[in-house]
Structure 1
Amino acid sequence: MTEIVVRHLGLVEYEACYQQMLEFTQSRTAETADEIWLLQHSPVFTQGQAGKAEHLLMPGDIPVVQSDRGGQVTYHGPGQLVVYLLLDIRRLGMGPRQLVSLIEDSIIAALAHWQVEAFAKPDAPGVYVDGRKIASLGLRIRNAKTFHGLALNIDMNMEPFLRINPCGYAGLQMTQVCSEVREPVTFDQVADELQKQLLSRLRSDRESQS
């Protein structure tokens, strides 16, 4: 079975990356290796398929882009780790709910590495610390091929979250890794740990299917 390809793309514009995801997903075949893209976006608000205009309170100078991922409005900016999961879940032998749980469990395990106690909510996808949201999820699946993924706040300007109702929830408090850890941690350290946790779980699922 093919290995998962991991790409570190740095700081990229949302719309250009979105087009690359679409092209990859549309052109892949049964033999195409799954890929995971780790990156950061320039400041942008993205509206998911269920997004409602009233949740954009005052976007100001930050562009708003319509996206075909699940969920409502969210913010992306430097210092936030975005992970796009380009997976063939039929080949992996899992369903959408299993994948969401795998992603949430990976984030929770990565945060536990720095003694940050995080949890998932069955009725609101994402990962939370003391009720504050630290990571958001938004996936799209076409013909059992996934794209989009997760956004984990690490060390970023949090002010733009005040310009929206994050994920469609008025008053939802957001947090980030640097505000929750006891000792300083770098963006790259968190990215490396989350990559390790995701790959460990995905490979375990692949091996159980082989």
Structure 2
Amino acid sequence: MTAVLFDFSGTLFRIEPTESWLRAALDEAGLALAEAELARAALELERVGALPGGMAPRAPMPDEVAAVWGIRDESAELHRAAYTGLSRLVPLPDPALHDALYDRHMSPAAWQPYPDAAEVLRALRERGVGVGVVSNIGWDLRPVFRAHGLDPYVDVYVLSYEHGVQKPDPRLFKTACTALGVEPRDVLMVGDDRRADGGAAALGCGVHFVDHLPAAQRPDGLRPVLDLVG
């Protein structure tokens, strides 16, 4: 393999827990909830799937959200509309909090690299292996990589909202391969979503899956990539 493509959420980084996400937005807005109410609201936000990168929705979606859910990663506007639409299913003390929650999830502080992410990316760079990040997302994740010191190890970012195409469409993986100057047969795609990230196989890329777990529960899930690359 001459290059490795990585997914972002659930692969290289993990989003903060829902309760921490809500608490940070409340603090930023100068608002407070009783602990029991905060915990209840966090559970409801999790149930409806309002946290991007968090749990998938486990509740019925409003028609207006359902209409864009499948294509939410094709533009920044659709992404925000989908997730704030889910958030608004949960009553909060100020309606402005729904946009504040969305903004919070884009901040570097909301994301934690998996424990072995830096080690693996650094080793790939030392071996001369190209690295790309291919993500279904509605916002610019580059500041997250910069803030956590991982940007120097990434050669190419291919983000769905910047191209109007989302995984598993092979075109997104092809864009990354072209940018890296490599043939798909020489590329390994690493991700946590068998459907979305597995789309790279249609292009001829190798595919390797990791488990989407809290960071503390997956300390070395990325290290097998180094053996696969050789």
TM-score range, shorter chain: under 0.3
TM-score by length of 2: 0.25
Larger Rg over CA atoms: 2
The structure, 1 or 2, with the larger RCO (C-alpha pairs under 8 Å, 6+ apart) is 2
